[in-house]
């Protein structure tokens, strides 16, 4: 009699165990699916927040443009010129005048649709106007500790007789190179959305030199 009861209990467990495992498996699958949905929604929320930040920056810029234009219309005899109206909205290419070591602007550029395009335009102008057409490659922008860091590689050109090491030499040359790169890419007077810092390399390796030490680490705006 006791043997029959044990036998029935074993059979019952055999029948119920797959159902129990199936139920656990379904719960695990449902939990995984919910986690994936939550992760997707969080990513969408972050993307929307970033989009809203860009739109807000553009709105502020437009409001500023409208305000300045209205002032110019209301005061037609004032000395407001188109260049003055848009001057603060232009990107500037900086260098240092070797004769007096003062900062000077060698080019002004219209703002493009995104940060990487703006950096590319600045790199091309800076290369042409200051560094004898040596290559300045924008590798990309990454978020590090909630800060947008642009990664930039300085590259030599086979058909150009000078190299970047030429611009790293001497206290004057080192300062001109450091300040030209730093000020141009960080845009200290630009009032709208911009990067927070730059990380520079030379041919993919950290920059070395007694007069360009600042270029060896991230430079913040």
Beta carbons of 188 and 221 less than 8 angstroms apart: yes
pLDDT at 32: 72
Residue 37 pLDDT level (bands cut at 50, 70, 90)? confident
Residue 43 pLDDT level (bands cut at 50, 70, 90)? confident
Beta carbons of 216 and 206 less than 8 angstroms apart: yes
Q: What does DSSP assign to residue 9?
A: H
pLDDT over threshold 80, residue 15: no
pLDDT at 59: 72
Helix (H) or strand (E) holding 105: strand 102-109
Closest CA to 127 of 157, 148, 149: 157
Radius of gyration of the chain (CA): 30
Cβ count within 10 A of residue 184: 26
| Domain residue spans of the chain | 90-220
pTM for this predicted structure: 0.66
Q: What is the pLDDT of residues 106-119, one digit of tens each?
A: 999 999 889 999 99
Token pair listed for 75: 């005061």
């Amino acid at each position: 009699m006791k043997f029959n009861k044990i036998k029935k209990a074993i059979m019952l467990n055999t029948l119920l165990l797959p159902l129990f495992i199936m139920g656990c498996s379904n719960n695990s699958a449902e939990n995984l699916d919910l986690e994936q949905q939550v992760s997707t929604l969080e990513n969408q929320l972050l993307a929307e927040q970033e989009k809203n930040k860009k739109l807000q920056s553009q709105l502020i810029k437009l409001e500023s443009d409208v305000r300045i234009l209205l002032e110019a219309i209301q005061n037609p005899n004032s000395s407001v010129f188109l260049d003055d109206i848009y001057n603060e909205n232009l990107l500037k290419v900086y260098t240092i005048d070797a004769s007096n070591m003062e900062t000077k602007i060698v080019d002004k550029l219209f703002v493009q649709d995104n940060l990487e395009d703006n950096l590319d335009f600045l790199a091309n102008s800076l290369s042409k106007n200051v560094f004898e057409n040596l290559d300045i490659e924008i590798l990309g922008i990454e978020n590090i500790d909630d800060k947008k860091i642009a990664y930039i590689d300085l590259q030599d050109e086979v058909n150009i007789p000078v190299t970047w090491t030429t611009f790293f030499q001497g206290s004057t040359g080192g300062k001109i190179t450091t300040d030209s790169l730093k000020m141009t890419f960080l845009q200290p007077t630009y009032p709208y959305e911009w990067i927070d810092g730059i990380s520079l390399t030379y041919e993919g390796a950290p920059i070395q030199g007694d007069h360009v030490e600042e270029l060896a680490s991230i430079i913040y705006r």
